[in-house]
Structure 1
Amino acid sequence: MASRYFDGLIRFTVVNADLSGLWRSYLDPRRGQVRADLLLSVIGHALRAQHPGFGRYVAVVNTDGYVPGLNFVFGVAEGDYALVFTARLLGELLVTRILKEVIHEVGHTLGLGHCENPSCVMHFSNTLMDTDRKGPGFCPRCMVKVRRALIHPH
Structure 2
Amino acid sequence: MNSYLSKTTILLLTLFTSISACNKPTKETVKEITIAIQPFGNFSDDDARYIASEIQKAYPKVEIMLPMDFPSSAYKKDRKRYRADSLINYLSRKSSSEHVTIGLTDEDISATKDEHKDWGVMGLGFCPGNACIASTFRLSKEQKLDQLFKVAIHELGHTQGLPHCAVKTCFMRDAEGKNPTNEEKEFCKECKRLLINKGWHLR
Percent identity over the alignment?
22
For residues 98 and 83 of structure 1, the distance between their equivalents in structure 2, rounded to whole angstroms, comes to 11
1:73 aligns with 2:121: yes
State the TM-score, normalized to the length of structure 1: 0.78
1:56 aligns with 2:100: yes
Contact 1:35–1:67 (CA under 8 A) maintained in structure 2:
yes
For residues 142 and 57 of structure 1, the distance between their equivalents in structure 2, rounded to whole angstroms, comes to 20
1:43 aligns with 2:87: no
RMSD over aligned Cα, in angstroms?
2.3
For residues 30 and 89 of structure 1, the distance between their equivalents in structure 2, rounded to whole angstroms, comes to 22
If asked which structure has higher relative contact order (CA below 8 Å, sep 6+), I would say 1
Return 5+ residue gaps in structure 2 as ranges.
1-53
Number of aligned residues = 140
For residues 162 and 66 of structure 2, the distance between their equivalents in structure 1, rounded to whole angstroms, comes to 24
Match of 2:73 in 1: 25
Counterpart residue type for residue 148 of structure 1: N
1:144 aligns with 2:193: yes
Counterpart residue type for residue 30 of structure 1: D
Larger Rg computed on CA atoms = 2
State the TM-score, normalized to the length of structure 2: 0.61
For residues 15 and 88 of structure 1, the distance between their equivalents in structure 2, rounded to whole angstroms, comes to 24
Offset at 1:15? Answer: 5.0
For residues 66 and 181 of structure 2, the distance between their equivalents in structure 1, rounded to whole angstroms, comes to 20
1:99-114 to 2 correspondences below 5 Å? 99-114=149-164
- Write out the 4+ residue segments of structure 1 that deviate beyond 6 Å after TM superposition: none
DSSP 3-state at the match of 1:72 = strand
Match of 1:93 in 2: 143
For residues 56 and 174 of structure 2, the distance between their equivalents in structure 1, rounded to whole angstroms, comes to 20
Return 5+ residue gaps in structure 1 as ranges.
none
Offset at 1:14? Answer: 5.2
1:117 aligns with 2:117: no
DSSP 3-state at the match of 1:5 = coil
Moved more, 108-117 or 56-65: 56-65
Q: 1:2 to 1:67 in 2, by over 3 A?
A: same
